[in-house]
Amino acid sequence: MAIGDSITYLNDHQEQTGNRVTKGYLTLVTEELPGIKYINQGHNGWTAGGIANKIEDLGLVKADVYSVFLGTNDWWQGRPIGTLADYRNNTGNNTFYGSYRIIIDKIRSLNPKAPILLMTPMQRVDFVYINNYKNNAYGSYKDKNGQSLAAFAEAIKAVGKHEKLPVVDLYNKSGMTLKNLVKFKRLKDPATGAYKNYPYPQFIHIPFNPETDEYPYPPEAIDMTYDGLHPSDKGYAIISRMVAGVMKKELKLKKAKAQ
């Protein structure tokens, strides 16, 4: 069972990517690990706080292995990270750490023996939703509400270390960086008004007007993401390789313990 946000949800909703994605990481992992089926509990735009808040209403079921892939929306919505003490002391859903405690406790109530994989958020550049240009956000090259996206990734790693859970560190170890998330952002040159392809970081200070401008990521701009935030086929392939590698180890360990 994969618990996550839109990056997980889009695995089964390619039409919402403008059909720019052919296979998400869940499909790719099941191709890599024959005999495994997935349950997609990805929720578009949700935070760890949203998942924790609705944890009893989501229809989570007993599974053999779980993954939790959240954090990018918590960062963008400016939710407080809190501290590991919030996690340890189960202080509730007021902080990111507290949300993770609620989620992990729920998983363990469903299957105490199931391996749980934690995944850090990916880095992100300027996001513009392909179906609604007004839905846009700047990238993780600057803080939101005084917090970096990197700090959310570190919080997930800290929970993993505390609970002895494997962490798929997409933020630091996937090779998906601010420089290769998109090849360029196509924007109007402020001096001439003509469209120009700006690579990162040149596009950071060039304005984008959702009312009048063309979509800034034409197909040829696609690299690790297709819209600055959501993985392309190339990005999903990297995620699936990392997840499948960890899952193989965890399932071997589980099998060895059962014997």
What average pLDDT values come out for the chain (259 residues) when binned by 10 residues? 98 94 97 94 97 98 97 98 98 98 98 96 98 97 98 98 98 98 98 98 97 97 98 98 93 77
Q: What local confidence, expressed as pLDDT, does residue 81 receive?
A: 98
pLDDT for 239? 98
CA distances from 150 to 20, 37, 155, 178, 219 (A): 27, 31, 9, 12, 28
The 10 Å Cβ neighbour count of residue 194 is 7
pLDDT attached to residue 106:
98
- Residue 79 confidence (pLDDT): 98
- The predicted pLDDT at position 147 comes to 98
What is the pLDDT, as a whole number, of residue 255? 77
What pLDDT is stored for residue 203 in this prediction?
98
Of the candidates 90, 74, 88, 84, the residue with the CA atom closest to the CA atom of residue 124? 74
Residues 232, 19: Cα–Cα separation, whole Å: 10
pLDDT of amino acid 130: 96
What local confidence, expressed as pLDDT, does residue 253 receive?
78
Q: What phi-psi label fits residue 151: left (phi over 0), alpha (psi between -120 and 50 degrees) or beta? A: alpha
The pLDDT of residue 256 = 76
Give the whole-angstrom CA distance, residue 224 versus residue 221: 10
Domain 2-174+232-258: homologous superfamily in CATH: SGNH hydrolase (3.40.50.1110)
pLDDT at 137: 98
> What amino acid is encoded at 230 in this protein?
H
